[in-house]
Amino acid sequence: MLISRRELLYGVATSYVNSAMPALSVPQETKSSFGINAARLRRRLEDLSVHGRPAGGTFADGVSRVTYSDADAGGRKYAMQAMSEAGLKPRIDPAGNIFGARAGLDGSLLRILFGSHIDSVPNGGNFDGDVGSMSAIEVMQTLEENHVVTRHPLEMAIWSNEENEVGSAAAAGGLQEGALKRVYNGIPMEEGLRRIGGDPARLAEARIAQHSFCCYLELHIEQGGMLEKAKIPIGVVEGIVSIDEYDVEIRGFANHAGTTPMPERRNALLAAAKLIEVVQEVVTREPGRQVGTVGQLQVFPNAHNVVPGLVKHSIELRDLSAEKIARLGDEIQKRAQEIARGTGTEIQMKRVDHDPPAIADPEIQSTIEQAAASLGLKTMRLPSGAGHDAQWMARLAPMGMIFVPSAGGISHSPKELTAWQDCANGANVLLQTILSVDRR
């Protein structure tokens, strides 16, 4: 049965206070009179940071909570303890995702799902994923402490292995065939998954049916510098960008750097240099937030006294519009062939990966804006240039994301930093957005 997004988003009753408990009133259409416990949120982020902290380090030294490692297992254990404190009974699905459900008043309504992840890149920071995960627990605990029962059931998720797009991808049925056979951080992912309580043989049971939940919400750090630069505390994500990834192979001719006159050279690295500049030029010459990056490059034979005969490099293009990056890719391809002719090289540029954009539901975007406004917090709409678990959930139901500022735009680094007040603001906006979605 197909259910329209509109039907999923808007229920009929309103959330109300659990009648069995002494309760605060929850006013309609305005923010609740209660908020999250900022001190507890900070404490949990600090406690969690111990799992994967470099030996002898402090919070400022960041974290290596690489998926399936002991640090990851320790962090997950800590998160599940915190979920229990929040009144939840954590369960682990076969993909290693941790869920905690909270009943709603109306059994006929679909659940509101929200969460993030706690695994990190090697030498990562203490905010990427952690802020959204600890805030999800904080939201659940705040509701519990204030004896509020929503109309919709609520469910929080801590997705497993986000950095390799495994947990939420498996839930969305998007995990690539054979992905778990891959060795990561020294062990096959299948074995790693078993270590954290998953079951690779039963992965299909981790699938979440399309339209089986009301919507998905995720609070995350921006990982860019737009909010900080604009001095705006809350970002309303328009969507997660589409990514086109290309492999480029430039074939010249390796020859002696002393004996080959300049006009005779077929220099693959000179051609690559020209192409790197073309990527920059094509991506920046029109307005918009599209980005283009040559991040990986290898030279062969890579000797100071040999004219490079072969260069392999990546090109990555990102924008909310898949059409725009396809067009930019075509333009770069055309210019690459001109460079090949001009340098006596052959240039092969092949698209090797395409991630479609995951557009945030427009009505959830408005709901987040109103939730922030009710707390006196300014907002700015912006794309997410990075991938998130939310992109997989967007395949199943309406999706919305809340961003909080990253100091200096730095991420995937021990220097990653989001001010405690910004973390608390984000958690409160998540809480108010959930209550607002629940009311409508």
Q: Which residues sit at the interface with its own copies, rule CB under 8 A?
A: 222-226, 241, 243, 245, 254-264, 267, 269-270, 272-274, 276-277, 280, 283-284, 289, 291-299, 302-308, 314, 316, 318, 384-387, 409-413
Task: Count other C-beta atoms under 10 Å from residue 257's C-beta.
Answer: 14
86 vs 248 by CB, closer to its own copies: 248
CB of 224 to its own copies, least distance (A): 3
Q: How far apart are CA 167 and CA 161, in angstroms?
A: 6
125 vs 198 by CB, closer to its own copies: 125
CB of 269 to its own copies, least distance (A): 6
199 vs 247 by CB, closer to its own copies: 247
DSSP letter assigned to residue 205: G
Structure tokens at 420: 């405690």
55 vs 285 by CB, closer to its own copies: 285
50 vs 410 by CB, closer to its own copies: 410
- DSSP string of 225-272, one letter each residue: SHHHHHT-SEEEEEEEPEEEEEEEEEE---EETTTS-GGG---HHHHH
Task: Count other C-beta atoms under 10 Å from residue 4's C-beta.
Answer: 8
CB of 412 to its own copies, least distance (A): 6
CB of 274 to its own copies, least distance (A): 7
227 vs 368 by CB, closer to its own copies: 227
CB of 264 to its own copies, least distance (A): 6
Q: Which helix (H) or strand (E) holds 115?
A: strand 111-117
Q: How far apart are CA 344 and CA 184, in angstroms?
A: 40
* Residues 312 and 297: beta-carbon distance below 8 Å: yes
| Own/partner long-range contacts of 73-81 (Cβ < 8 Å, ≥24 apart) | 73/195, 73/196, 74/50, 75/48, 75/51, 75/118, 75/119, 76/118, 76/158, 76/196, 78/47, 78/48, 78/51, 79/48, 79/118, 79/133, 79/134, 79/137, 79/158
160 vs 391 by CB, closer to its own copies: 391
Q: How far apart are CA 309 and CA 288, in angstroms?
A: 36
Alpha carbon distances (Å) from 95 to 165, 169, 189, 205, 219 = 11, 9, 11, 8, 22
CB of 87 to its own copies, least distance (A): 35
CB of 324 to its own copies, least distance (A): 14
CB of 396 to its own copies, least distance (A): 22
178 vs 258 by CB, closer to its own copies: 258
